[in-house]
Amino acid sequence: METYVKRPGMLRVNAVGDIINKEFFLHNGTITLYDRNENVYADMRVPPGIEAALDKARNDYGLRVSLTELANPHLWELISGKIENALCVGMSKVRGVSCYHLAFDGPMAEFQVWIDAGKKPLPLKVVFVQKKVEGEPQWRAYLNNWKTSHHLSDALFKFTRPDGVRKIKFVPRRQPAA
């Protein structure tokens, strides 16, 4: 998965794997999700700003974009109130790089992060476990190739519809009965 962020309001995620082959674009108040396997795309208007746009997509359509929370400049404020226990596990290595290993535990999730102990203290690995969900699903991601001062063209964040791709609509989430 590749993720590109350009503040205040542009985001792109390319997810390619054995099963998934999707591209997510946020550009000038429009979210577009393109599914290469199904040869379809959908778009929606959203508020400006990455966090507000992602909140609308999640709340109105149930659309979640993996790992984008890590790019939130207010991440600590969002999660700190949900942490019951925190531990500095110590130093360990992620793919040969010395890292600070930190673990956090709350009522709904466990979260671990390995932060590069070098000149650029960026996350290199995360592990997330959902509690109170059958099977307690876990996901893990290795983060690499960080480019924090690289100039990104606005065109990178704009969806250009390939020939033969069919437009579909996002389906709103059902609201619980009152």
- Residues forming a β-bridge with 138: 129
Sort strands 166-167 and 85-94 into parallel, antiparallel or unpaired.
unpaired
Tens of pLDDT, residues 6-43 = 999 999 999 998 889 999 999 999 999 999 999 999 99
- Residue 150: per-residue pLDDT: 77
Total-model pTM:
0.85
CB 68, CB 51: distance < 8 Å: no
CB 62, CB 75: distance < 8 Å: no
- Residue 60: per-residue pLDDT: 95
Q: Measured in Å, how far apart are the chain's first and last C-alpha atoms?
A: 39
Q: Which of the residues in the chain have pLDDT under 70? A: 176-178
Contacts of 44 (CB under 8 A, 6+ apart): 30, 31, 56, 57, 61, 170
- Residue 176: per-residue pLDDT: 64
- Residue 66: per-residue pLDDT: 80
Read off the tokens for 57. 């997509």
